[in-house]
Every structure is written in structure tokens, then in C-alpha cells.
Amino acid sequence: MTLVVAGAAAVYTLRIADDCLVLSHRLAQWSSWGPTLEDDVALTNIALDLLGQARPMYARTAELDGTGRSEDDYAFMRDEREFVNCQLVEQENGDFARTIVRQLLCSTLQLAQWQALTTSTDGQVAAVAARAVKEAAYHRDHATDWTLRLGDGTDESHRRMETALATLWPFVGELFESDAVTRDVAASGVGPDPEALRAEWDAYVKRVLADATLTVPESGWKPSGGRQGLHTEPFGYMLAEMQHLHRSFPGVTW
């Protein structure tokens, strides 16, 4: 894969871009299916925010890896093993409770990550982060409000939230994994080591879950590999859907 020979900063920015793109597509799948008109619009807007965060990070990656690829090249012309998003963002939407739990877990990390990146030694990354912080704060607030409403709601909504937590919690560990890439960018000041964000993430998520009368699952199986291009089965189907038009009609323009 091209990524093997790319510099650490390029791989790091690509990871962030892929996280945003994949989560954006998952949320976009809710368009016209939201439980209320307001939340249908909210999820679509969050998806657009994430897409807007992915685009400049792909542009920065193209500069750093020296390939000059376009954002479309990154999004539509890479195979599954070339994507380096974490496995949590690619998990299927399921019911609304599962989407909300995934969003709480992801947006809490993204907010902490963007806040740290506002002081990045890479000026372009810092500029993207400065704008993204405000968006991520709203994303987390939206997920928090729904977590409280559903977790401390009816017996059925509580049960579904507990089920969603049990399903998605194993993927949390990968969010904070460190490797040669993260250690390199942390040393150069480009970005934070994920491990450094864990305490803040834990404090917020566990407080929200407690307020929502939800139980934090016990740690056990911890799937991993997304950062190295290893993905879960739902991702392949999602990618085929996302890339279908571009691959079927190369060079298509609107």
C-alpha cells in the first residue's frame, strides 16, 4: 500500500480524514429516516460538518505524502485495505439508539482531538481544528442530549441503549492506541498521542452514561486493526455503496 512509505504526519492526517469521512457517510444514511424532522436535519448537518472536516485533511495529506491526489481520489479510488479509519466509525447504524451511542463515543473523542490540534505545529491542521472545535462541540451536545433522553427514558429505550453500548464498547480501545505514527507526530507537535486524550474522554462519557442510568460495560474483547487497514465486514458493503457512482462513471462531473 502507498501508506507504508508515507511519512507519519501524512498517515496521521489521513487517519483523521478517514474517520470523518466514514462517520459522515454512516450518518448521511439516516437522511429521511430520522425519528423526527428536526433530528433528520440535525444528523444530516452533522454528516456535512464531518465531510467538511475530512476534505481539508485529505488536501493536507496530499501535500504531505507528495502524491498530489484529490479528495475524490482518497474517498473513491482507494480499496478497503487502504482506509485507515478506526473500526468504531464504520459500524452499522442499527437503530437510533445504536447510532446515538456511536456518536457519543466518537464525538467526545473528536472534540478532544480537535481541541488539542488547535495548537498543532502544522499551521494548516491547526486552522482546520480551530473551525472544527465548534462543530464537534455541537455534535457531542446532540449525542449527549439523546443519550440522556433514551437512557433515562422508557424501559424499551433504556434496553436498546444498553444493547448498543454492549455492542459498540469493545471498539473503544482502538481509539486510544499508540503506535510509531502517533508517537512521531506527538514528538513533533503535529498532534496529540491518543493515550493522552483517554482521561478526558473517560470522565465525560462515564458521567453522561451515569446520568443516563446506563452501565459501562466491562472490558473484554478489544478488536483492532483499523489503523492498519483491517476492517469489519460492514465496512466493505458501505464502501461499495459510497464508491459506486464514481467507479461506475470515471471522471463524472455534475
pLDDT category of residue 26 using cuts at 50, 70 and 90? very high
The CA distance from 222 to 30, in Å, is 28
Unique residue bearing C-alpha cell 461506475: 248
Residue type, 232: T
Residue 191 or 38, more confident: 191
Q: What is the pLDDT of residues 175-233, one digit of tens each?
A: 999 999 999 999 999 999 999 999 999 999 999 999 999 999 987 888 999 999 999 99
Three-class SS of residue 29?
Answer: coil
Three-class SS of residue 95?
Answer: coil
What is the pLDDT at residue 3? 39
Contacts of 2 (CB under 8 A, 6+ apart): 65, 67, 82
Mean pLDDT of 240-253: 87
What is the pLDDT at residue 254? 63
Residue 148: all three cell numbers together: 440522556
What's the burial of 36, exposed, middle or buried (CB within 10 Å: 0-12/13-18/19+)? Answer: exposed
The CA distance from 117 to 125, in Å, is 7
Contacts of 3 (CB under 8 A, 6+ apart): 11, 14, 82, 84, 229
Question: Quick check: 169 pLDDT over 80?
Answer: yes
What is the pLDDT at residue 4? 37
Contacts of 141 (CB under 8 A, 6+ apart): none
Chain centroid to Cα 245, Å, comes to: 23
Q: What is the pLDDT of residues 76-106, one digit of tens each?
A: 999 999 999 999 999 999 999 999 999 999 9
pLDDT category of residue 14 using cuts at 50, 70 and 90? very high
Supply the angle between the helices 180-188 and 8-28 in degrees, to the nearest 10: 110
Q: What is the pLDDT of residues 99-112, one digit of tens each?
A: 999 999 999 999 99
What's the burial of 53, exposed, middle or buried (CB within 10 Å: 0-12/13-18/19+)? Answer: buried
What is the pLDDT at residue 49? 98
